[in-house]
Amino acid sequence: MSAQNYVKRLTAPDITARKGGDPIVCLTAYDAPTATILDELCDLILVGDSVAMVVHGLTSTVGVTLEMMIMHGQAVMRGSQKALVVVDLPFGSYETSPEEAFKSAARVMMETGCQAVKIESGSYAAETVKYLVERGIPVMSHVGLRPQSMHVLGGFRARGRRQSVADEIIENAKAAADAGSFAVVVEGVSEEIADRVTKEVSIPTIGIGGSAKCDGQILVTPDMLGMFDRVPKFVHKFGAQKTMTAEAVAEYAKRVKAREFPGPDNVYHFKK
């Protein structure tokens, strides 16, 4: 890219500075074309391990590998210029020790060029967050419903709908902030808890199934585009991509079978 066309990406400190300010717009992407579209409108693009279900057809995020995240991260970086790109560290790549987490995160950043990583975190992960940040790796944390912990939590269930877990979620968010996270995703919790977390932590909260009062919002892009019939309660379908795609494919099949495609404008001829 020439200096004339250079676009400065948003940084982790830029996102942190938005605490209590203009809402932070975030979505997920897993490929270059989608990233190019999102880049114009989003402050942060997450290469989420949700790629497991929405792209690879897996039943959970647990089967995602570091290599998969790197491949999709590379694609998103090629398709974007402005947004901060964050890549999820997948299950099993960071839990053993801060040192292992650093090796995984450093590899992701070096091989993709992304600006930050995300880990599903609680107070147990504070040491790891601190270790990464001290070594130059910006970290976005994730509390509440943590998909990588689905087997412990009993499935993809909303967390924080009971007062008994409120203090735990708030404690986890505070620990993530104190350890140096630049933002924290708050997923699948009651509005009351999301509001408390937003008020009580010093870093931006990114809600997904939380509250409109969070400092920002994120959704899984194929979900909000209407690619799937069943989506979580907190998803609003802003499009009807599945219907549009099905209709286009049906029209294509119809024309192929009728030998109407390719038509005169779609074929080549000898040059005169």
Residue 272 located in a structural domain: no
Q: Would residue 16 count as lying in a domain?
A: yes
List the binding residues for Mg(2+): 49, 88, 120
Helix ranges (H only) for the chain are 12-16, 32-39, 51-54, 66-79, 98-112, 126-134, 150-153, 163-179, 191-200, 221-224, 241-257
Q: Is 124 exposed, middle or buried (0-12, 13-18, 19+ CB in 10 A)?
A: exposed
Considering the candidates 187, 191, 247, 251, report the single residue annotated as catalytic: 187
Q: Domain range for residue 51?
A: 3-239
- What is the CATH classification number for the domain harbouring 116? 3.20.20.60
| Residues in binding site | 49-50, 88, 118, 120
> Whole-model pTM?
0.92
Overall number of domains in the chain: 1
Q: Is there a catalytic annotation at residue 247? A: no
Q: What is the pLDDT of residues 144-196, one digit of tens each?
A: 985 444 434 444 455 555 677 888 899 999 999 999 999 999 999 999 999 99
Domain-located, residue 251: no
Question: Among 24-38, 64-78, 104-118, 119-133, whose mean pLDDT is lowest?
Answer: 119-133
Inside any domain, residue 229:
yes
Q: How far apart are CA 251 and CA 246, in angstroms?
A: 9
116-152, pLDDT tens digit by residue? 999 987 677 899 999 999 999 999 999 998 544 443 4
In a domain, 264, yes or no: no
Residue 223 lies in a domain: yes
pLDDT of residue 156: 47
Q: Which residues are annotated as a binding site for 3-methyl-2-oxobutanoate?
A: 49-50, 88, 118
Q: Is 180 a member of any domain?
A: yes
Confirm whether 253 is domain-assigned: no
User: What is the C-alpha to C-alpha distance for residues 45 and 129, in angstroms, rounded to an integer?
Assistant: 20
